[in-house]
């Protein structure tokens, strides 16, 4: 079957690039390859994996991981500090760490946050 398509130059350049990279003789072969790869999803995965190997991406992901870990530790420290202050200003004058004896205010707050996250996930899943 023959069909004629009018494509912008940027798409023609992509076909030419694939043709060269894969060693094809004809643009038709490159186009079939692109369509097969799209159909299988392999082309995207391959390109994504190549991107993750780039030094600037690796550095960014490392910084992101370190920042996330730091934020997690800081959040835990803040919650423990807040819990201690709440205990000191209430009947419980223990100053215990949060994990050992959580304050009802913080415990209620955490439960509400979990409910909110679950509700938002449910809304997202129902879309």
* 19 and 30 Cβ atoms separated by less than 8 Å: yes
Q: How many domains does the structure of the chain reveal? A: 2
Q: Confirm whether 62 is domain-assigned.
A: yes
Per-residue pLDDT of 70-92, as tens digits, reads: 888 788 778 777 777 776 776 44
Q: What is the pTM of this model?
A: 0.39
Are residues 25 and 69 part of one domain?
Answer: no
Residue 25's domain spans which residues? 9-52
What's the pLDDT tens digit per position in 8-38? Answer: 899 999 999 999 999 999 999 999 988 888 7
* Same domain? 59 vs 121: yes
Mean pLDDT lowest among 35-44, 62-71, 103-112: 103-112
Instruction: Share the mean pLDDT of the chain.
Output: 80
User: Does residue 65 sit in the same domain as residue 120?
Assistant: yes
Question: What Rg value do the Cα atoms of the chain yield, rounded?
Answer: 28
């Amino acid at each position: 079957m023959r069909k004629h398509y009018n494509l912008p130059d940027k798409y023609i350049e992509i076909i030419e690039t694939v043709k060269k990279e894969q060693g094809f003789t004809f643009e038709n072969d490159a186009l079939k390859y692109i369509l097969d790869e799209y159909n299988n999803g392999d082309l995207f995965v391959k390109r994504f994996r190549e991107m993750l190997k780039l030094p600037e991406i690796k550095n960014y992901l490392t910084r992101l991981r370190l920042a996330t870990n730091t934020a997690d530790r800081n959040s835990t420290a803040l919650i423990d500090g807040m819990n201690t202050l709440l205990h000191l200003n209430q009947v419980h004058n223990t100053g215990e760490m949060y994990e050992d004896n959580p304050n009802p205010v913080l415990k209620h707050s955490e439960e509400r946050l979990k409910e909110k996250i679950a509700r938002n996930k449910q809304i997202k899943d129902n879309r």
